[in-house]
Structure 1
Amino acid sequence: MYHRRFLSPALAALLGLSALAVQAHEGHDDAPAAVQTSAAPRFAAVSEQFELVGVIEGHRLSLYLDHAADNSPVPDATLELELGGKPLAVTRVGEGLYQAELSQPLADGETPVTATVVAGADSDLLAADIDWHAPATAVPPSAWAGKSRLALAGGAVLLALAALWAWSRRTQRTGGAA
């Protein structure tokens, strides 16, 4: 009779510890995974005549030059660009589409952009700022997280073995009678 009073709480403790050992952890929870996106740094410079949008992806700067009035591409324009006060060589790759290569990644913070546009008899000076902050690096999950769950599972097994040993000793003393 005594072993039943001991065995029931021991089994309850074992079940409780085993539930802790199999709890979900990072990457295995029920919540839907959050999509991590990192927007490419960009700028928009607008005047009465032109609109210039620049998108930086790595070392490549893609530039889109449109008429401000109707958002149509500006054909055969000449585009001169300064990024952070330094001239940047721009290559026309299509109607209203230009590209440039950055010699180094964009620095954190605000970087001024100045563009001179000449399209036929029209010309304009456009200015904007790129406000860029590098994404924070992800902190790797702790190596101890998995080890602590393993320790809990090991403790649960030891507790079960101790309970079984105590139960078997008790039944040997009573001669196997329940």
Structure 2
Amino acid sequence: MKSTHPLAALSLAAFLLGAGMPAAAGDGHDHGDAAPAAAGTALPRFAAVSETFELVGVLDGKQVTLYLDRFADNAPVRGAKIELEIAGAKFSAQAHGDDAYEVVLKEAPKPGVLPITATVTAGAEVDLLAGELDLHEAPHADEAVHEHSWKEYAGWAVGGLAALAVLVLGGRRLMAARQPQTGGAA
């Protein structure tokens, strides 16, 4: 008496394989549980810190946006005068909105590590801050990023099911060969 059927074994294998794979919602069918992925690359930054001030600079091409805060309470410093020296070239920062300052460079810096020195004057306080800007070459746009499609996952699932079917059928033949033959003429 045989208790396993090939169709039942394949159905069970398909169920187990399907239960182990995460479900993917189509466009407009997700529930917003996943956090949004960051798109693009982050802009290069540098930080310079002293006992009085924290200065963060963000480079976007030739434009450097500076954010100056007090070290003690992280409160923005408004109305300060910032003299910035980047790799030996000196610049004077201009106020940009309420909480930021801006410097426009003559040309975009080349890749490498650039020393940065900032002289900050805020009221009666004068401080010298130092940091480094580490620039790397931009990734090449012609290099494709490999993304997994549903067809790739489907191919792996079909291959897994085929391998499982071969194992089940091979196991059945092995079990059938081990069973003693009964009956016969006396």
TM band (smaller chain): 0.5 to 0.7
Query: Out of 64, 67, 84, which is 2:67 matched to?
Result: 64
Aligned twin of 1:119: 122
Structure 1 residues 37 and 84, CA gap change in structure 2 (3 angstroms): same
Amino acid at match of 1:103: K
* Conservation of the 8 A alpha-carbon contact between 1:38 and 1:135: no
Amino acid at match of 1:78: K
Aligned twin of 2:113: 110
Aligned twin of 1:37: 40
- Aligned residues: percent identity? 46
* Conservation of the 8 A alpha-carbon contact between 2:116 and 2:132: yes
Structure 1 residues 121 and 133, CA gap change in structure 2 (3 angstroms): same
| Alpha-carbon shift at residue 89 of structure 1 (Å) | 3.0
Query: Out of 69, 79, 84, which is 2:82 matched to?
Result: 79
TM (norm. structure 1) is 0.56
Q: Deviations over 1:51-86 (max 9, x none)?
A: 000001112110000101111111221111111111
Structure 1 residues 99 and 35, CA gap change in structure 2 (3 angstroms): closer
| Alpha-carbon shift at residue 139 of structure 1 (Å) | 3.5
Q: Which runs of 5+ in 1 are unaligned?
A: 1-33, 142-178
Flag as ranges the 4+ runs of structure 1 deviating above 4 A: none
Structure 1 residues 135 and 95, CA gap change in structure 2 (3 angstroms): same
Partners of 1:62 and 1:85 lie apart in 2 by 19
TM (norm. structure 2) is 0.54
Partners of 1:43 and 1:140 lie apart in 2 by 28
Partners of 1:115 and 1:55 lie apart in 2 by 14
Query: Out of 87, 91, 95, which is 1:92 matched to?
Result: 95
Partners of 2:119 and 2:127 lie apart in 1 by 6
Partners of 1:96 and 1:36 lie apart in 2 by 26
Amino acid at match of 1:70: D
Q: Which runs of 5+ in 2 are unaligned?
A: 1-36, 145-186
Amino acid at match of 2:64: L
| Alpha-carbon shift at residue 116 of structure 1 (Å) | 0.2
Identify the structure with bigger relative contact order (alpha carbons < 8 Å, sequence gap 6+). Answer: 1
Q: Deviations over 1:4-26 (max 9, x none)?
A: xxxxxxxxxxxxxxxxxxxxxxx
Q: Which has the higher helix share?
A: 1
Structure 1 residues 79 and 140, CA gap change in structure 2 (3 angstroms): closer
Paired residues for 1:10-25 under 5 Å: none
Q: Deviations over 1:77-131 (max 9, x none)?
A: 1111111111013111233410011111121110011000011111100000000
* Conservation of the 8 A alpha-carbon contact between 1:74 and 1:95: no
Give the superposed CA RMSD. Answer: 1.9
Alignment length, in residue pairs? Answer: 108
Aligned twin of 1:129: 132
Partners of 2:130 and 2:67 lie apart in 1 by 14
Structure 1 residues 73 and 35, CA gap change in structure 2 (3 angstroms): closer
* Conservation of the 8 A alpha-carbon contact between 2:81 and 2:93: no
